[in-house]
Structure 1
Amino acid sequence: MIRTPERKPPLYLITGLVFGLLLGLVLAWLVWPVRVSSVGPSSLSVEDKEQYRLMVALAYAASGDMGRAQARLNLLGDADPVRALTSQAQTALANSATQREARALAGLAAELGSMLSSQQATLEAVNTPGSAEVGSPVDTAGEGARYSLDSQQLICGAASDAPEVRVYLFNAQNLPEAGVRMQLQSSEDHAELTTGNHPSEGPGYAEAEITPGEVYTLSIQDTEMMGAIQAAACQTAEGEPAWGSWQLIFHAIP
């Protein structure tokens, strides 16, 4: 009986297989490793978002910390967080086994809606021109002042215009003076101004927006010149309420 010799796989096949395996491991671990990144709440599935929203509502029901609850809900990226909570609460309410969850969701929706409405009302009251009387800026220039106030006027432009302080500076020869530094500041705001940055208004002109409700002082070259500067309401030529801008004209003291 003749035995057929057993054939062994060629050495180069084994070598190639081992080499390929090693190369694959190197590529997978070192060259192109799998990068695991954290997934934010906004990237979750609809079901996972509902679970996240429920956990926020239950945590709020236990702690009453609205600031933390709102911050967590903001991470979901809902266009209307109150509506999303309300809708989920209604779904939970239809199931007798999820009444506790429904109460937590509805409670958070009600409190969040009330807070957001209050914030919006406050914002509109502050930023909408009203009938409240606001005094005129007061000349506070003292010793050492290089300029004196020549005139002040409330200018009423379009209803969409933001309130501003507009300053015109003239030298002793009654020529516009460029390159003069000024500071406009309140307890919450600070602006650095330099005349000449608005060529269309002339070299002696500078301007800065002011925030309704804030009280500002104006200093020229580190010397206080005006105080009690506030955004004042006015009426446009079309009869619309608007914020006016204070125009202040100064001349250098000879």
Structure 2
Amino acid sequence: MIIGSRREVALLVMIGLLIGIAVGLYLSWGLWPVEDYSSTPAQVKREYIPEYMVLIAERYMFDGDLPAAKARLSELGVPEPAQAVADLAGQYIREGREVSKIRALAQLAYGLGTATSGLAIYINPAGVPTATPTSPPSPTATSSPTFTPVPAVTPAATPTPPTSAPAASPTPVPSPTAGRLVFWLTERRRICGQGEGPGRIEIFVKDDEGQAYPNVAVELAWSDGQETIYTGLKPERGLGFADFQLVDRAQVYTVQLAGSEEQVEGLTGDPRAAGCPPGTGYVSWQLTFTGNRR
């Protein structure tokens, strides 16, 4: 009797397990099948999109892969993602966010060609020629001969007069580094275009060897306003390029570069006032400045 009852209990347990497994498989595969909830960047909540854009910018700062950064931004589903990066960088500046995040966003905006003049101080464009003035560390060659004569400037010491005479040459040593970067206008072109305006003022800055100069401040002024733009914010046009849209044709604009004493005047947005032929839709100006250290 006891043996029979044990077998019956074991059989009932086995039957219960089989029924439980069958019911579980039916519920999981039939009534409540597993659904794929893998999300895409476009499904990110709007409040998290800025953080995702910062991650994209930081990744770009790390690997420099601009096509990959563009692809990641396009997956967000944000209209005009390139401009959104520049706008977010400006927002972070106003809010006093972390400089590292602002720098990453500004660098990405620079790569996308949407960086504004306010982001220039956070951008480190590749190939900046400002490294060249500091690269020739002539003090290493001149420091040993120039520093030893300095204490021998006193004329009382007789052994040192021969060396103190050439020691007067340290004065030209600082001249290369102290030389001021000076620009002058080398070309001014008027472009009378067809179709609808507005026109633009396009500025190209280079040295006397043709090397483009980025991060040069360009000051524009007109009767009721002024603005400062910087070269190098549109790298696809060149590191020495900057432009300004002539939104008001009735205005006459003046351009002056930081480090230049001359002003370029008479840049009107009116095709008639600029002397363009009849039927001209808009007028643009191209100014080329050449710079050198003096």
TM-score band w.r.t. shorter chain: 0.3 to 0.5
- TM, length-normalised to structure 1: 0.39
- TM, length-normalised to structure 2: 0.34
